[in-house]
Each structure stands twice: as structure tokens, then as C-alpha cells.
Structure 1
Amino acid sequence: MNTQAHPSPQFFMTAPASCPYLPGQVERKVFTHLVGQRAPEMNDILTQGGFRRSQNIAYRPACESCRACVSVRILADEFQPTRSMRRVLAANEDLVGREYPAEPSTEQFSLFRRYLDSRHTQGGMSEMSVLDYAMMVEDTHVNTKIIEYRLRNEGDGWRSPPSGQLVAAALTDIMADGVSMVYSFYDPSLEARSLGTFMILDHIRRTQAKGLPHVYLGYWVQGSRKMAYKTRFLPQEHLLNQGWTLYEPPASDELR
């Protein structure tokens, strides 16, 4: 009988760098590699402990002077959409969402580039090539899917795959206690559809259908307008010093 213990993951620290969310702040990250047979198990444990995945790396902030980044997860089985969220769902009833293995395509990359060129002209992802995109999608040792959202064409009720225009996509990890939205992007010209909100709502529905409790949204950064949308999906928990804690929103936010 082999009694050798599984090797523990090794953790490393990045060098200090400018924070992409809060001006004047410096960020550092602790990270480890997610490889081998234990990668899915480790991804579950680390995500529940506040880590995020990027390719085969799991990381979390380890900043010396700031604790603004807070891990967020939606309680999917208790979630009820607000009036504005129901309007978003209604506005996107003509979309077909299908889940596929994590494989890149030229069509995905074209949409991804349009999204970056419109929304993220600065930062580490702005110069990503088609090969960089392929690595982002394929370089995973965990249960990762890509969910494509297409405009419904006649016959898409039975046709597989659907044939309509690709308007959004989400790279998503399937875990033992829910799903983690690794990265999502959409057609920036369809702003009226609120596709970012729609994809989160669709992930909540998918998580409910799987009978799982959580949708992990990554980090909410207090003081960053770009991250403010994450606290709209209630109820949700934030990972604080005492563990996962129910978030209490300001009274003005509860009925939006």
C-alpha cells in the first residue's frame, strides 16, 4: 500500500506593482500552480479560501497596506431577481446559451478583442493575442467550460450547436459547491441588453439547476466603481477575517 502523502502546494509572492483598481495603492499577490490530478480538489479549496484562477495559477491579494479586495459569492438557492434584473432577463429572452468544453475559437477571439478594445484599453490584458486568448481558455487542469450566448435563429430549439450570432461568452469553472465565473466578455455595441448582468443571472439559474449553492464572482473592491455591480446580486457572502459573512447592503441599494 502506498502511504506517501500528497505533496502540499508551494506558494509564492509576486513583486509589488501598481494596483489596477485603486490609484496610489500597491498590490502583491500570493499564488500557486494548479496542476496534476489534485488540481480540481485544490481549486475548490482555494476558491473557498478566497483565491481566483487564471490559467493554471491560483492567486489572491496579499497587499501590505490595503484590504479592499473582498471575495464575493452569491447564495444561488436564495436569490430572487430585482425588478431591473427581471427586465434584463426579458430583454435577452432571444438568446441561446450553451455550455461547451473549454476550447477557443476564432469567433470567440474576435468578440473578445472587440470587448477589450472598447472596455479595457489599458492594463495587462489589452495587448492579448490570439495565442494568449487560447492559453487563457485551454490552460486549465480543472473542470472548466465556456458558455456561449447567441442570438436565437429559427431552428435553434433543436439545432446543435445554435447558428446565431455570438454576442457573449463566459469562461466558468464547475466546482463541488457551485460555479466560479473566471472571465466573461460580450459585444460592447449591445449596451442596452446589459449582457454582463445577464450572464451573472444565467449563471445563477444554471447553478440552481445543478442543485449547488454558490456563484463565485471574484473580488469586490471597495472604492472601485468598476467593481460596484457585484454587490447588486443578493443575498451574497463576503469572505472576511471571521469567514464567509452575509453582506448587508446599504438600504438605498436593496430594491434596485
Structure 2
Amino acid sequence: MKMSLYDEQCARDFELMESRIDHFFAEMAVECPYHLPHDARFYQALFSPLSDRAMELFLASGYRRNGNCLYTMHCPDCSACVPIRLHPQEMKLNRNQRRVLKKNQDIEVEFAPITASEENIRLCEKFLRSRYPHKYNDGKSYYKGFFLNRIIPGMEFRFRLRGRLVGTGIVDVGQNWMNAVYFYFDPDEASRSLGTFNILSMIETCLKLDISYLYLGYYIEEVAAMNYKRRFDPHYLYLDDGWRKIDKLT
């Protein structure tokens, strides 16, 4: 698998950076957050503000952000979590994605700094109660411990239907990259495919801002809420320590 010049440079720069920060990382074993039948092992470290380039190198090396932690997966019995990336300038929308755009042409899209507003927290909690009804899941905790951070500037996409908030997408944004952190929506509007619409909105914004790399988190074949990302054509999967282009799988 031949790496692009960009990825080759990122890999070299990350190797130099990693040698200086590796001792900050530790492994933490927990129950799999995606309910797969394996223990999950997070390799993670807490960070203060990072430069745009440092965050770019972490993302290009398959790392993710959760609050003030950066992490990657070191699960001994599972390799289901595969980082996925889009190159917005290459995207070719399929028939279903064009239908989603048409279906949501009445949605107003806002792009603004992350805000732990009452309406955001209410919608987040409604989503969590419907999709992930765990005892300790609540909107305030998600904002305080997950979305807001001291590492890198964060933004959010707000989707409104006649003024009513129906979805919010949390992203990190750099000079040449965008990182999707989380998306929640009104379960009553599930027929609108707002998860797909959120990604389409990110692609459009990346094109406007001349951003070349859009990181979508993990692609997990066995998890429906995570495998729809493969329908974006082409996409790149981080396999064997390199990004591999996957085309025409939609």
C-alpha cells in the first residue's frame, strides 16, 4: 500500500513527536462502549492546548479525541474500530445522499462555537434516553466531559426545522482538517437521516473552507450506527498503520 506524500510526511513527523510524548500514555481496560463481546483497551493521555499541526498529526495517525484525552484502541482480541477519513474534494454523492439533501432542504444549518445551551442539553438528553438509556448518560456530562475541551477549538453544526433544534454535530476544526466528535438528533425526526445530512453538511463546509481532510471517527462493520459511514464514496480506512482508499462500495 503506497502512502500519499502528505501521509508519508505526517507519519515521519508523528514518529518524532511520539518519541517525546509516549511516556504520557497509559492503557485503560473497560467494557466495550459499542457492546461488542470483547474488552476494550484505550491507549490514552490527557493534554492541554495543542498546536494545529500536532492535532493534525494525531488524527492522521488514527487517534481520536474524548474531552481532554487523545486515544487510540489497543484491544487485544478485536480490531473492529477502524478510523475513517473523507477527502471532501473527491466526494461523489450517491442517489440516497442526494435524496437526503432534498428531504432536508427545509433545514436551516448554523455553524458556531460549541455551546452547552439549554436547548442543546435537552435535545442531547432526549437522544441519549432513546438510543443509549444508561443510568449515567446525561447531556450536561456529555458537554462537560466529552464535547468541550482545552485541546483544540471546537465548533458545532446546529440543524433547525422552523426554528426548532433537531440535531447538533460537534466537530474540531483546524486549518486543513475537520474532526467529527459526536452527533445527536431528535429521535422523532429519524426518517430524515440526519446523521447522513450532518456528514453532507460537514463536507460542504470543508469545501467552503478549503479543508482537505475530514475525519469521521470509527467505522465499525458490526455496528449499524457506525457502518453507514462507508456509503460515502470514496473514503479512506486506516489499516496497517496507513490510509487505504476504498472506492465504489456504496
How far apart are residue 86 of structure 1 and its match?
0.7
Contact 2:147 2:181 in 1 (8 A): no
Matches of residues 79-228 of structure 1 in structure 2 within 5 Å? 79-122=91-134, 126-128=136-138, 130-152=140-162, 164-228=163-227
Give the counterpart of 1:62 among 44, 55, 74. Answer: 74
How far apart are residue 234 of structure 1 and its match?
1.0
Matched to 1:140, the amino acid is R
How far apart are residue 129 of structure 1 and its match?
5.1
Q: Which runs of 5+ in 2 are unaligned?
A: 1-16
Match of 1:156 in 2: none
Say if 2:28 is the partner of 1:15: yes
Residues in 1 aligned to 2:178 and 2:219: alpha-carbon distance in whole angstroms: 17
Residues in 2 aligned to 1:135 and 1:227: alpha-carbon distance in whole angstroms: 21
How far apart are residue 132 of structure 1 and its match?
4.6
Matched to 2:67, the amino acid is Q
After TM superposition, the structure 1 stretch with the greater mean CA deviation from structure 2, 220-229 or 26-35, is 220-229
Matched to 2:158, the amino acid is E
How far apart are residue 98 of structure 1 and its match?
1.3
1:131-181 per-residue CA deviation (whole Å, 9 max, x = no partner) reads 5524433323312112211124xxxxxxxxxxx111111111112332111
Matches of residues 210-249 of structure 1 in structure 2 within 5 Å? 210-248=209-247
Residues in 1 aligned to 2:58 and 2:208: alpha-carbon distance in whole angstroms: 24
1:97-132 per-residue CA deviation (whole Å, 9 max, x = no partner) reads 111122210010000000001111148xx5225255
Say if 2:56 is the partner of 1:44: yes
Residues in 2 aligned to 1:231 and 1:100: alpha-carbon distance in whole angstroms: 27
Q: TM-score, normalised by structure 1?
A: 0.83
Matched to 1:196, the amino acid is G
Report the CA distance shift for 1:58/1:119 in structure 2 as closer, same or farther (over 3 A): same
Look at both structures and tell me which one has the larger radius of gyration over its CA atoms.
Answer: 1
Report the CA distance shift for 1:78/1:132 in structure 2 as closer, same or farther (over 3 A): closer
Q: Which runs of 5+ in 1 are unaligned?
A: 1-5, 153-163
Residues in 2 aligned to 1:100 and 1:84: alpha-carbon distance in whole angstroms: 28
Matched to 1:12, the amino acid is F
Q: TM-score, normalised by structure 2?
A: 0.85
Matched to 1:24, the amino acid is P
Matched to 1:110, the amino acid is R
Match of 2:46 in 1: 33
How far apart are residue 52 of structure 1 and its match?
0.7
How far apart are residue 96 of structure 1 and its match?
1.3
Normalized per residue, the structure richer in helix is 2
